[in-house]
Structure 1
């Protein structure tokens, strides 16, 4: 791939940034987000919009291309919540455990997996200094477990059981197993495919 110009990682979430590096790092020349760049206010009501806000802010701050993603969990029984509010579901500054606890409480009266269907979505925006961009999306269907399982991943991973898996939560999978079917893995591979097409 000809895409060897430096690309800044826009994510301020170290676990999310690590996943992006694991999937893209051998294909693109990724550089860390400068620590002096302030957090970006993610106030759009779509994953794509929030991802673009972050990418644009890092392009403006660094003068380099930037890649950002925004992702979240949509639970059908909760009318798509927490959605773009996934990281702040239990309030500003909420921990992963706070968010998971609130989610499980909201579904406590729905023990049937058929009533706990959900999906993870991710949208990735690669923005260039000239204003051009590449946008890619990924999703994975599943349902919410009744209790957290597994030490891996982050966010809602310990309570999300993907349809494409073997009954384990993302929290019970290795990173490679998760990346193979995850929303972020699918979005990032779609991004790479589009870049290959652009440079072919």
Structure 2
């Protein structure tokens, strides 16, 4: 029986996948058993191999990391997933953990030793949330959550649409658009539309 921790690597970037596959090749007690380049492949690989721990990127073409985690855990409630990503927005972190991830690591801040420790702890049934990630998550409490409609409006603002175009796209009146924008500015503590978009992108509330 294989005593190694069997790891599935999911990342959109080929270099990252190859680097991790090579890294685990020489790590005692761990074994990278497969790689996937998007969320759909991740779900298929997990279903076929049922790894002990999955390292999941957050934003990928098509099915996102959060969506993939949600689908995997619907079928395999005990799945152990660690998000390994470049995105550190408080909303990114919140959505990832809410979907069922047991750990959240930032590529730019995570050392090889910390990655190994996170895998071991999650494999043992624990959670692994670095202090910096936990602080970001705590910051989210200070902000009011945007509604799905407000997010729709803000995405269109980010694409350069004016109020009339937003109203037409969402089949609502311009007055309703203005009302949504006022709520968005208030909730994001932004002075104008541009600042609201920048804040929302940075926090991971919307993506383009």
Greater relative CO, 1 or 2 (CA 8 Å, sep 6+): 1
TM-score by length of 1: 0.30
Q: Which has the larger radius of gyration?
A: 2
User: Of Structure 1 and Structure 2, which has the larger fraction of its residues in helix?
Assistant: 2
TM-score by length of 2: 0.29
